[in-house]
Amino acid sequence: MTPFTDHGASPTLTEHERSGPPILGDVHSFPSYAEQARSLVAAGAMATLSTLTNDTFPFTSMAPISVDGDASPIICVSELAEHTRNLRRSGRASVFVAAPTVEGVDPLAGPRATYVGTFVPFDPDEPTIERHLEAHPHTRGYVSFADFGWWRMEVQHLRYVGGFGVMGWAGAEDLAAARPDPIIGAAPPMIDHLNDDHAEACTLIARHLGCAETTESATVTELDRYGVTFAATGQFDEHRFATVRVAFPLPLDAAEQVRGATVELVRRARAVTTGSSPSERPEHS
């Protein structure tokens, strides 16, 4: 396991963004925008598909997507669908994917990504088809219909938003080079567990390890291999809310390591409250 390094995804804030809720803590520990965007779609997703009408207005619909080896979105759609008719005229389109919302947290604080590019018809191999069917089992009933066809997006760029002030662009090469985060896909039930059963511990972590001493309560909004992101309530200068980021001392390699890593963060936060000096934690196996 390699030591933690700066991934360069910390936001460069505009004046508008500086006027919003602050981002506190280990702001350099966010995964790159490409890593986060790729992780959102690694296991497939139900996406919002935007295509162009005959008079070039945006037309929005839904489509199940999977991704190929370089994270290019793949769809299988009917020739009867309006979005397919639009793609036949112009392949220019965007695909929007959002993570599940966390109860009690502003949906706009959650991660989402918009892929922008051109869809082209293609003939997938069997592994690609099976990967799509595994992600969307209900599609087995119709992907073999004669009027259904496969399309692959040639991604030009993507826009990732991880919450207030956490946003940026990435290119197709960045996306292809990024590897999916091993934690993000498995995170939702772990996030629910932390928020439902360990709310006090979450507040301690944000308050004492996230440079957010005035935190009154903290809700986990994201978990990834590099750390934890909280939506914190308190008094942060003139703001009542803040995004708080706390890094794991070492990146994680598997979802099974999250429990040990978060327990260690709790131990360190409690050590701060008692004035003791926490010893260096062991690496996760």
Strands (E), 53-124: 58-67, 73-78, 92-98, 112-121
Both 193 and 134 in one domain: the answer is no
Alpha-carbon gap, residue 253 to 265, rounded angstroms: 17
Alpha-carbon gap, residue 246 to 59, rounded angstroms: 40
**What 3-state class would DSSP assign to 100?**
coil
> Using only C-alpha atoms, what is the Rg of the chain?
21
| Domains in the chain, number | 2
- Reported as a single tens digit per residue, the pLDDT across 138-171 is 999 999 899 999 999 999 999 999 877 778 999 9
User: Which domain covers residue 91, as residue numbers?
Assistant: 34-177
Q: What is the pLDDT of residue 63?
A: 97
Both 120 and 24 in one domain: the answer is no
Q: Among 117, 149, 177, identify where a domain stops.
A: 177
Q: What is the pLDDT of residue 280?
A: 45
Alpha-carbon gap, residue 176 to 154, rounded angstroms: 11
- Identify whether 2 is part of a domain: no
Q: Are 161 and 170 in contact (CB under 8 A)?
A: no
Both 38 and 172 in one domain: the answer is yes
The ranges of the chain with pLDDT < 50 are 1-5, 8, 10-11, 13, 16-17, 280-285
Q: Among 130, 159, 177, identify where a domain stops.
A: 177
Both 86 and 118 in one domain: the answer is yes
- Reported as a single tens digit per residue, the pLDDT across 164-220 is 777 899 999 999 999 999 998 899 999 999 999 999 999 999 999 999 999 999 999
Can you give the CATH number for the domain in which 25 is found? 3.20.180.10
Alpha-carbon gap, residue 284 to 269, rounded angstroms: 19
Can you give the CATH number for the domain in which 126 is found? 2.30.110.10
Q: Are 252 and 227 in contact (CB under 8 A)?
A: no
Alpha-carbon gap, residue 266 to 209, rounded angstroms: 9
Q: What is the pLDDT of residue 18?
A: 55
Both 229 and 160 in one domain: the answer is no
Q: What is the pLDDT of residue 275?
A: 74
